Chain A
Amino acid sequence: MQIDIDHLNKVYRGGVRALTDVDLVVPNGMYGLLGPNGAGKTTLMRILAGILRPTSGTIQVGEYDGTTERGRTAIKRILGYLPQDLGVYPDLTAREFLDYMAILKGMDERKMRRRRVEELLELVSLTDVATRKLKTFSGGMKRRVGIAQALLNDPQLLIVDEPTAGLDPEERIRFRNLLSDLGGDRIVLLSTHIVEDIAQTCRRLAIMNKGRIIFQGSTADLAGEARGKVWAITTGGPRPAGDITVVSTMNMGATVQYRVVGELADSSLATPVEPSLEDSYVWLMRERRAPLLSASR
């Protein structure tokens, strides 16, 4: 199965243009959608999940047309969705909430449903707290409940919107490990502004900015975009000059080590380094502000 999006546009009431001429193909497996806040990622996720209607354009999810009512209903049957702002009923326990969601997903056979709920509680390591009310859960625990509810119906399309935002490092690592096991025969669309989330879980990605797709391809292709443009500089003096973006700074006591992307005014003290995904992302965001670029599909 794959997702085909053609010339998708979304203009909100009031004239706010959230998506402009989005063309995207999402194959099976883990697929990342990267971009800064306000890029249009969540709008795209919501349109795919059937919450929002596109203004124009076409969406095909496997055999289903995502622009029709019937198609949206069919997609919802194979969909698992973890929204950016996950809401839960605070007075239900984790087990009750998952059971309720399972019922609403059409899992009406009680024994099978309860077995599935227990499996997922085990998967997300919440079995021990399954009888606690959700209002007592931390943010990370609620996010795990969220991924569990998204997996209830063993979806063919899993949409995960900013799953690690706001989580502490330990929870973030746990979540990434969970996500990386979910690919396989399904489409997992992971939307995030955290490059590391994509780097650790996805082979293919798209980058959005200001409602447009500015890159589509593999993570290897993206890493190659900034080759020759990434430098490490160790200096006890002032910050390096030039048309650069400082990606990271490490204080070494008497000296400071900078990692920069761009064109240095003086590269004699700089060491070229192999670009990471984050370096390439920064480079791309700098360079692709005006023209659009998409790698061949």
Chain B
Amino acid sequence: MNSSKMMWGGLRYEFLMQIRRPALWLTFLGFAFLVGRSILSELDDPRFLAMHASTLQLAATVALLTNWLAPLGVGIFLADRLPRDRRTRVEELLNTLPGTLKLRLLSKYLGATLATLLPALLLYMLVLVLCVWRTGNLLLFPLGLLCYAVVVLPGMFFVASFSVACPVVIWTPLYQFLFFGYWFWGNLFSPHSGLPTLNGTILTPIGSVIDASFFGAPAFGGVGPGPTPVLAGIASLATLLGLAVLVMIALYRFMRWEQARQ
């Protein structure tokens, strides 16, 4: 029994099941419309372009602004993946199979997350193409992809892990509602508003700390902490990815404990 082949096979089918959801594509199409319009109007503003000293800085800001909504979609669409096994009654069958729980969870997490990220990535690439068209700067595309990988993906995997794990212990619609509120509170509240918020800290999943520290992206519209040392960016990246791993380990332990109690 080859574990990596089993994991790859499982990942493929979890990817397929998620990518086939019409609501996923419709939602990200809606996001594309909202975000695309907003970015294009910013690019028409010379003051916006003047805020950025280099193409890399501009790419970093575009990555951040394009993806402030996408993680919402990621979190909400991943929340039903594990409860679905229970709801469709497949879980009992899965528990009789020799493939380990660890492998199944990992393939579900990675497969469903990658599938949910695909429309988000396509949306982002569309925006990049529009930005290249508007600015005439071809470098924006490859640098934009680099910034996506560094700034956006850690937060997406962080959000994905909580969205896969938490609905195992709380009602899925409740989680989705709380997540919606958390997203706005943790990323878009200004730290200067007087209310406590995760925005501007290393726990900000939108990636604004990483953006500012690695690429010097300026604060914009209340998003972003402004000039930030590189160490803060490294700490944020490590914290987001590390927490994602810890949450999945906790999920595995919890499900094992649940099984042993039966």
Which residues of A approach B to under 8 Å, CB–CB? Answer: 13, 46, 49-53, 73, 76-77, 79, 81, 83, 85-92, 96, 99-101, 103-106, 108, 149
Contacts and interface: CB of A to CB of B under 8 A. Distances in A.
B82 to A, nearest CB: 13
A108 B5 contact: yes
A103 B13 contact: yes
Chain A, interface SS category:
loop
A73 B98 contact: yes
Contact of B1 (A79, A83, A99, A106): A106
Contacts of B88: 87-90
Given A81-B93, A86-B89, A90-B88, A100 B10 contact: yes
A106 to B, nearest CB: 4
15 contacts: A46-B92, A49-B96, A51-B96, A79-B96, A83-B92, A87-B85, A88-B90, A89-B90, A103-B5, A103-B9, A104-B10, A105-B97, A106-B6, A106-B99, A108-B1
B98 A108 contact: no
Given A83-B93, A106-B1, A106-B6, A76 B98 contact: yes
Given A53-B260, A108-B2, A108-B5, A92 B13 contact: yes
B93 A100 contact: no
Contacts of B13: 92, 96, 99-100, 103
A70 B92 CA distance: 19
B96 A76 contact: yes
B-side interface size class = 20 to 34
Interface of B: 1-2, 5-6, 9-10, 13, 16-17, 20, 85, 88-99, 104, 260-262
A85 B98 contact: no
Nearest to A161: B92
B9 A87 contact: no
A73 B259 CA distance: 14
Contact of B96 (A13, A81, A90): A81
Contacts of B96: 49-51, 76, 79, 81, 83
Nearest to B7: A103
A46 B96 CA distance: 9
Contacts of B91: 87
A100 B6 CA distance: 9
B110 to A, nearest CB: 15
A104 B16 contact: no
A103 B6 contact: yes
Contacts of A104: 6, 9-10, 94, 97-99, 104
Contacts of A96: 13, 16
